[in-house]
Structure 1
Amino acid sequence: MKITEKKTGYFKSFDGTKIYYEVRGEGPPLVFCYGIGCLINHWQHQIKYFSQNYKTIVFDYRGHHKSEVPKNIKNISIKSLAKDLKGLLDHLEISKAGFLGHSFGAQVLLCSYEMFPEYFHNLTFINGFGSNPIRGMFKTDLVSQFFEVFKSGYDLAPGVCTKLWKLATKNPIAIRLSALAGGFNLNLTHLKDVEIYARGISSIDLTTFLTLFEDMIQYDARPLYPNISIPTLIIGGKNDSVTPMKYQEEMHKQIKNSELLMVPYGSHCTQLDLPDFVSLRIEKFLKNASFEKDSYIKKEAPLKPLPSDLSSEKMANS
């Protein structure tokens, strides 16, 4: 299967922050949202598969990779990411789409759905959660304590913490530790994808990451679950130690007529562990949801050219 041609562009969001995006294929629009600190690479298999028959759209969150860091720290929040998503849809002149969110991407989509439900035809959550995911992560409360200690250390010595943050990509042991922290199943996921993840997360501005991480902890979308009335597919991994099955099961119980798939041997990145299995299940869901071709595209929007300072190496890492 050949990957379709990639079109890239930028648009200015509500506060002037430039947001980077990629579009492939033609057909009903599917928008992909990755996890906090992650990369477009997390969706590589699904983009390759679905761009054959759908218009796939993915973007970098503000402060992530090719998108700008907002000038005002108050605009680093889940709500701001939701506004960016709406801005992207308006920029591409898309009136309704299907949305897929992995991990933290589920929170982004839940917030977006609450703010502008008219844009949503269907939802797919993969290893998603709606409330604080670090309470009990890895079956312990140490993650929560570590975050508080690290954040306090960053407030006191940001330079030292930033240096340690970036050094993580150069140490093979640290890369494997980041694989565990990121919830990868190293028996199923290629180490190359883990290395890309490690490099990507270390390149993110720490102020951006810590501010958004804190908002992720505080955000609670569970009251919204009973109000979701569109087709919803919920996918979890039976071996996910980052966001265990209880999060997906809670979603399924409270979201009316939702579908639940628990993937055997699936880690926190089931879409990378078993990409064909996951993609086929999503495709079945989309067909059952009557997501008809070209129903929700107003017209082809102009794509802005990439600035000359973006090298091919940087593009490859996306």
Structure 2
Amino acid sequence: MSHYFRQDYLTVPDGAALYYQVQGEGEPGMVLCDGLGCDGFVWKYLAPYLEQRYRVLRWHYRGHGRSGLPRDRERIGMLYTCDDLNRVMDAAGIDQAVLFAHSMGVQVALEFHRRYAYRMKGLVLICGSYGNPLDTFHNANWLKRLFPFIRLTVERFPQPVARLTRALLSTELAMQVALSVELNRSLLSKSDLVPYFTHLANMDPVVFVRTLESASTHSAWDHLPHVDVPTLIIAGEHDKFTPAWLSRRMAAHIPDAEFMMVPQGTHAAPLEHRDLVELRVERFLREHLPASPPAPYREDRLGVPDVVSPPTR
């Protein structure tokens, strides 16, 4: 049986062309939700692992990766993202799924459960917060105080900011600072980070700050007691973006949630400790959501191109 792979674009009613890809076979489906400014770098090892036994959906938020923007560029934010995911799951033929979420994706996954609980089979929440991330970044609120100035600057001078961001993030210094200050350089390969820096350097800064503003004012705290699906929460012991106490607090308020602390892990724990994360995920899925046999490979799935072009407008 050939290994199923499909990628495509879904244009939603407001004009945004959303990129998605589906790979692998087996139910339930697995959906991967990225962090802010990401197009999938953190799933480098976990996605292929899941694809061996499950159908895995990867997709890009508005203005991220290969996805485009709506006609009205103000239509960026958490609720649009949840509605987008609902439509993308339909397009991918996935009725119900386990949502894997990293960083800001944790907020997306929790809000998606609030709005579309009937589509959920489980949650795996990795290195993320239930909301208001600027309040706790590096265990302080200085970024929250600074953010209005950052957004004003980006909105007024988008092109100079884009050029400056691209220049700074393309330097070796930026990579070394990240490895030394934010991440565990003894456990992380530089090649694991290159896709993140490349994507962020080329991202529209206006899209970035508008997405961040939406995340910064969103919270699913009130919804945590209502999460009614098996939930695994994974935290990095030395995560500075979303400190581990947030994950512990989240686990304490989601009924029957399971929790794992990754020793010496940072915000990139799935890359730094791939074997540990894979083993814990495997146990979680085996105990709560046993995989069904792969579906028969249908004739109408053959000949799907590996490369597709975004729709033209």
1:281 aligns with 2:280: yes
> Would you say the 8 A contact 2:137–2:242 is kept in 1?
yes
More displaced 10-residue stretch of structure 1: 144-153 or 163-172 = 144-153
Corresponding residue of 1:315: none
Output the CA distance in 2 between the equivalents of 1:7 and 1:186.
35
Output the CA distance in 2 between the equivalents of 1:177 and 1:152.
26
* Count of aligned pairs: 305
1:54 aligns with 2:26: no
1:94 aligns with 2:131: no
The alpha-carbon distance between structure 1 residues 54 and 81, as it changes in their structure 2 partners (threshold 3 A), is same
More displaced 10-residue stretch of structure 1: 30-39 or 8-17 = 8-17
> Would you say the 8 A contact 1:232–1:259 is kept in 2?
yes
Mapping of residues 172-191 of structure 1, within 5 Å: 172-179=172-179, 183-191=182-190
Corresponding residue of 1:205: 204
| Partner SS state of residue 49, structure 2 | helix
> Would you say the 8 A contact 1:14–1:87 is kept in 2?
no
The alpha-carbon distance between structure 1 residues 280 and 155, as it changes in their structure 2 partners (threshold 3 A), is same
Output the CA distance in 2 between the equivalents of 1:308 and 1:264.
42
Deviations 1:141-178 (A, max 9, x none): 33223433322222332222111111123211122334
> Would you say the 8 A contact 1:10–1:304 is kept in 2?
no
Corresponding residue of 2:35: 35
Cα offset, 1:8, TM superposition: 1.3
> Would you say the 8 A contact 1:102–1:125 is kept in 2?
yes
Structure 2: state its 5+ residue gaps: none
More displaced 10-residue stretch of structure 1: 244-253 or 8-17 = 8-17
Q: What amino acid does structure 2 have at the position aligned with 1:185?
A: N
Deviations 1:241-291 (A, max 9, x none): 111111111111110011000110110111111011101101110111134
Corresponding residue of 1:71: 71
> Would you say the 8 A contact 1:252–1:258 is kept in 2?
yes
| Partner SS state of residue 73, structure 1 | coil
1:155 aligns with 2:130: no
The alpha-carbon distance between structure 1 residues 176 and 300, as it changes in their structure 2 partners (threshold 3 A), is farther
Cα offset, 1:120, TM superposition: 0.2
More displaced 10-residue stretch of structure 1: 142-151 or 242-251 = 142-151
Cα offset, 1:34, TM superposition: 1.0
Corresponding residue of 2:258: 259
> Would you say the 8 A contact 2:130–2:221 is kept in 1?
yes
RMSD over aligned Cα atoms: 2.4
Corresponding residue of 2:267: 268
Output the CA distance in 2 between the equivalents of 1:124 and 1:296.
24
Q: What amino acid does structure 2 have at the position aligned with 1:259?
A: E
Query: What TM-score do the two structures reach when normalised by structure 2?
Result: 0.90
1:117 aligns with 2:140: no
More displaced 10-residue stretch of structure 1: 184-193 or 249-258 = 184-193
> Would you say the 8 A contact 2:4–2:25 is kept in 1?
no
The alpha-carbon distance between structure 1 residues 14 and 117, as it changes in their structure 2 partners (threshold 3 A), is farther
| Partner SS state of residue 144, structure 1 | helix
Cα offset, 1:296, TM superposition: 10
> Would you say the 8 A contact 2:31–2:98 is kept in 1?
yes
Output the CA distance in 2 between the equivalents of 1:211 and 1:185.
29
Q: What amino acid does structure 2 have at the position aligned with 1:100?
A: F
1:21 aligns with 2:20: yes
Output the CA distance in 2 between the equivalents of 1:263 and 1:241.
14
The alpha-carbon distance between structure 1 residues 200 and 301, as it changes in their structure 2 partners (threshold 3 A), is farther
Q: What amino acid does structure 1 have at the position aligned with 2:246?
A: Y
Deviations 1:90-120 (A, max 9, x none): 1122211111000100111111111110000
1:133 aligns with 2:133: yes
> Would you say the 8 A contact 1:93–1:300 is kept in 2?
no
> Would you say the 8 A contact 1:14–1:84 is kept in 2?
no
Structure 1: state its 5+ residue gaps: 311-318
Output the CA distance in 2 between the equivalents of 1:66 and 1:106.
21
Q: What amino acid does structure 2 have at the position aligned with 1:26?
A: E
Corresponding residue of 2:45: 45
The alpha-carbon distance between structure 1 residues 301 and 120, as it changes in their structure 2 partners (threshold 3 A), is farther
